[in-house]
A and B are shown apart, each in its own frame.
Chain A
């Protein structure tokens, strides 16, 4: 069997927007957002794949689809080589233990009325994995301390509002890790935090990866962060993966014009730039627009006739380096 923990082939998530009365009266069609529109990738055991792209490109939706939190269609959607079948109760229970999500906003993802110990041990309680109160507190303490909140018992009876942003995110991580998952979708886990606190959280995530051979789907719009922590990067635009490959290669010699545009404007700390930043012209199309051809076409500086007619296939330009562009 392969060492892939997650294998996704031709994943699609389409949302149908409920049209307002006014629109119905005007006789307009129902609108569809193709949030994820045919993407394929795999993640190996212990690997970190970063998903980078602008707001609305479908990053969160991709993560949620893998965890079965939104309806999707896919040719293949495998976890440890097995089809993810959440209709089967026993499978679902096991899957929920091994695959977890960390959300962006530590302010929203914690119930303000619950104390830290209850938040952290909730997954154990829900899954009836603790026999006694003592055991619960013991495991809660362990999880908190592994997440860098020591001594754990000092945090047991605090409420989220009594914690700093960094501490809150550690509580979120402690609770995601308490079941010993092997795969975690981390959705912008540090973007709400001060740079000085970020490092601690990232180090924690890396330590947990090393100790438990965890794999991450790391969602971010910060390319330099993706470069720093991940093995591979996938660049998304309007529901499609434009380019995917080794993180060093994507940053230093990305081939897709969208990747190049992103790396061009990446701030390089301490370096003064010459002239204005080279930004892409125009705006991202409305997500409900039907786009023929390449999704990036309307903003592409090197587009040709074919680009607005045919969608470019994903090509493997070098082993492990994939690009979807007619001009590459």
Chain B
């Protein structure tokens, strides 16, 4: 059985101007010890996907279809009470800038212990001991449980947040831009740490980012999102070496290729779609150089182009022949 299977997930926001189909027919899976990257431009539905899995959606957001199977059990159908339990025990999220959410007047150890007591119902003394262990786990000396947040650097605070995410032995950790505001060296430290923890505890890891450049070296699998849909998914090699979707191709060219020529990146023409008025047919067609009549009319299905490599594009054969 897979650790996580998301099938045809749809999460919509109802706001006064209409319905935002933030996640629309999204499917992916994740095994123990595996790392999945979700990438795409701002507003394409990455965070909403994560919040759906962790059942942390704000009240205007609803899962309107699909299944979220965690070890076979459908989280989309759980009661609020069951969710409360699962939220902390099975799936943890670590957000961008989360470190700024630490309480400035409370000792680091107490804040971690609070999370432990809340979810493990252990005694305060045991919780403090566990807090020190968790700090060591994220490579901060245990005796620093008595420090306050301002005595820590940004990277250390983000590691404290990871320690808190680990407090309830989750099966899956989701990092939503966990390193985006951090320096490259600190980012590398944090990614190393997450990698180590993932292997050590055989956890599933989902890395959400708009920085395609860090995904290849961090993730086994990558899903590329556009306007609430996964337009391509596959192994890191599939995505980078056997790129199947015109959007992915453009996205890759948004990053400088340090191994290649010093050429200005290309960028993507036009703007991401207004999520209240997603264009008919393939949502990417207005910005796509390969678009034809059919693309304006019908939404392409995801086709398994090679083993495990899915592409949702009418023109995928043209794309392939070009390589």
Residues of B within 8 A of A129 (CB): none
In the complex, which residues 66-111 of chain A have their Cβ closer than 8 Å to any Cβ of chain B? none
Residues of B within 8 A of A251 (CB): 258
In the complex, which residues 264-312 of chain A have their Cβ closer than 8 Å to any Cβ of chain B? 265-273, 276-277, 279-280, 283-284
A224 contact from B213, B237, B240, Cβ within 8 A: B213
Say yes or no: B213 contacts A227, CB within 8 Å.
no
B interface bracket (residues with beta carbon within 8 Å of A): 35 or more
Residue in B185, B195, B240, B259 with the greatest tally of chain A CB atoms within 10 Å: B185
Say yes or no: B184 contacts A269, CB within 8 Å.
no
Say yes or no: B212 contacts A195, CB within 8 Å.
yes
Residues of B within 8 A of A202 (CB): 264-265
**B216: Cβ under 8 A from any A Cβ:** yes
Say yes or no: B241 contacts A270, CB within 8 Å.
yes
Per-position binary interface string of chain B over residues 189-209, scored 1 when its CB falls under 8 Å from any chain A CB and 0 otherwise: 101100110000000000000
Given A251-B258, A276-B195, decide whether A270 and B216 contact each other with a Cβ distance below 8 A: yes
Residues of B within 8 A of A262 (CB): 184-185
Say yes or no: B264 contacts A268, CB within 8 Å.
no
Q: How far is the CB of A272 from chain B (nearest CB, A)?
A: 6
**B153: Cβ under 8 A from any A Cβ:** yes
Given A203-B267, A268-B217, A269-B240, decide whether A276 and B184 contact each other with a Cβ distance below 8 A: no
Say yes or no: A164 contacts B271, CB within 8 Å.
yes
Say yes or no: B41 contacts A196, CB within 8 Å.
yes
Residues of B within 8 A of A197 (CB): 267
A206 contact from B211, B236, B250, B264, Cβ within 8 A: B264
Q: How far is the CB of B131 from chain A (nearest CB, A)?
A: 20
Per-position binary interface string of chain A over residues 191-224, scored 1 when its CB falls under 8 Å from any chain B CB and 0 otherwise: 0001111111011001000000000000001111
Task: List residues of chain B with CB under 8 Å of any chain A CB.
Answer: 41-42, 153-156, 183-186, 188-189, 191-192, 195-196, 210-214, 216-217, 236-237, 240-241, 250-252, 254-259, 262, 264-268, 271-272
Q: A224-B213, A270-B240 are in contact. List 20 more A-B contacts (CB 8 A).
A: A54-B186, A195-B254, A195-B255, A196-B254, A196-B272, A198-B254, A200-B267, A202-B265, A223-B184, A224-B255, A227-B258, A262-B185, A267-B214, A268-B217, A269-B216, A271-B217, A271-B259, A272-B217, A276-B195, A277-B191
Give the 8 A-B CB pairs with smallest separation, nearest first. Answer: A199-B267, A270-B240, A195-B254, A228-B256, A196-B268, A265-B188, A54-B183, A267-B213
21 interchain pairs, CB-CB under 8 A? A194-B42, A195-B211, A195-B251, A195-B265, A196-B254, A198-B254, A199-B265, A227-B258, A227-B262, A265-B184, A266-B258, A267-B214, A269-B212, A269-B252, A270-B236, A271-B216, A271-B217, A272-B217, A277-B188, A277-B217, A279-B192
